[in-house]
Amino acid sequence: MSLPSSIPEDETGFDRVLRFTIPQRNARGRVVRLSPVLDLIQGAHAYPPAIRHLLAEALVVTALIGSLLKDGEGQLTMQAQTEDGVVDLLVCDYRGGELRGYVRHDAERLAALGTNPSLYALFGRGYLAITFDVATTGQRYQGIVPLEGDSLGAACEAYFAQSEQVPTLIRIATRSEGGHCVAGGLLLQHLAEGEEGRERLHVRLDHPEWEHVAALAGSIRHEELIDPDLSLEALVWRLFHDEAEVRVEAGRPLERGCRCSVEHYTAVIAQFPDTDRADMRNEAGLVVVDCAFCSRLFEIPA
């Protein structure tokens, strides 16, 4: 495997996605490592450690899946929700390299769970919805699966198996130190019997090509995903250096992308009838909008 000269080795590997394909195995993948962008997104709320860990994992998964979009202006939204869980809503989205995320939870019930609650302890019986909005066609695709497994990554693997019929492996690692968080992830998929974009004649979890690349990818260690001294290119090299060819391509840099603004909310409110806008106004004649993602209040003239 060789790296194209147009893709430089990154000094930190933070807040970026690396795309790769293994043509002879009909496999494609993504690796991502986040840190500064996590601090910006999580800094909008005083999340306790368990929620910071959950949101970091969710943002990594969102970046991995969102970077599969060929449409640069398309959007991926991942939402986990339950009616009786300690966490009743988690939502993250990705659009053009921009990430944002938010978690709503019951602080008292969370405190009773201890320092390292399981996914089931946080959500109970919930569901995971993954939605692709394709800007070029205006089409929306959504799949919903039970929120099961020991991690969000495992739940997303189930989504691809059930809704997309694509064998998928996802590995996530997170670490918090001194109030800062580092998280990394790997996604690998098998597009059986053909390159990306061609019809999948059959998809089997026991396909020899998939078993081979999944075994290699599954050997990745937690520490490798979050090691700032190990570039994403070097990480892919470690896993697949024995393959005849691995093609790598730099994805977009990742940044915090909350799209809230006075102009945006003014346009949204203008779509409501006059009677509805009148009900929204406070005593000063303003509509106050609270953005859950960035924890800011916007006062909009109605």
Which domains can be identified in the chain, with CATH numbers?
A: 16-256 (3.55.30.10), 262-301 (no CATH)
Instruction: Report the distance separating Cα 281 and Cα 233, nearest Å.
Output: 53
107 contacts: CB under 8 Å, gap ≥ 6? 48
Q: What DSSP character marks residue 24?
A: G
Quick one: DSSP state of residue 141?
E
Lowest mean pLDDT, pick from 144-153, 230-239, 277-286: 277-286
Report whether pLDDT(179) > 90: no
- What band does 23 get if pLDDT is binned at 50, 70 and 90? very high
Average pLDDT over residues 10-32: 88
pLDDT in tens, 24-74: 999 999 999 999 999 999 988 899 999 999 999 999 999 999 999 987 778
Q: Are 106 and 82 in contact (CB under 8 A)?
A: no
Q: Is pLDDT larger for residue 299 or for residue 243?
A: 243
Q: What is the mean pLDDT of residues 276-282?
A: 83
Residue % of the chain over a pLDDT of 70 = 91
Q: Name which of 156, 168, 172 is nearest 205 in CA terms.
A: 168
| Tokens coding 173 | 């690692």
Q: Tokens 């990742």: give the residue.
A: 254
Kindly report which listed range (95-104, 176-185, 256-265) carries the lowest average pLDDT score. 256-265
For the segment 117-137, the average pLDDT, to the nearest whole number, is 91
